[in-house]
């Protein structure tokens, strides 16, 4: 039995996957770093910890941190049966995460749950 976690990309009602599209828009070198970090998330699951993942204070969201000068972040949550739902990807431009990025992930999580 495969003990690895699986990744689920949030999809809009129209079937678009914003996180998948965001990753695809990145330069090849950055995409490879994202892929490596996602592989770590699948392998270690909720035990991945810092410096790769950090729980957001006051939220159920986790922030996947792709290390490097690009400051790429992906918000995600754990859902049933060892699945992670990838909600929102962005390039962090300031020390503190912009509130609108968090709101986007929270809105997508609500939408996902309403459609389940």
Convert the pLDDT of each residue in 3-46 to its tens digit.
Answer: 899 999 999 999 999 999 999 999 999 999 999 999 999 999 99
Cβ-contact 106, 39 below 8 angstroms: no
What is the CA angle 97-102-32, rounded to 5? 70
Tokens of 26: 């990145």
* CATH topology (fold) of 6-114: YaeB-like fold (3.30.2310)
| Conformational region of residue 64, where left means phi above 0, alpha means psi within -120 to 50, and beta covers everything else | beta
Query: Is pTM, for the whole model, over 0.85?
Result: yes
pLDDT at 106 over 90: yes
Convert the pLDDT of each residue in 45-93 to its tens digit.
Answer: 999 999 999 999 999 999 999 988 889 999 999 998 899 999 999 999 8
Peptide bond into 51 cis (omega under 30): yes
């Amino acid at each position: 039995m495969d003990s690895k976690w699986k990744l689920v990309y949030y999809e809009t009602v129209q079937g678009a996957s914003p996180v998948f599209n965001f990753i695809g828009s990145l330069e090849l070198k950055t995409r490879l770093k994202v892929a490596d970090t996602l592989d770590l998330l699948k392998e270690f699951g909720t035990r991945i910890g810092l410096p790769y993942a950090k729980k957001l204070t006051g939220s159920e969201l986790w922030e996947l941190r792709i290390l490097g000068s690009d400051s790429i972040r992906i918000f995600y949550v754990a859902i049933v049966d060892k699945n992670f739902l990838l909600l929102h990807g962005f390039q962090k431009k300031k020390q503190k995460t912009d509130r609108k990025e968090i709101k986007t992930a929270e809105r997508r999580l609500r939408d996902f749950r309403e459609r389940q």
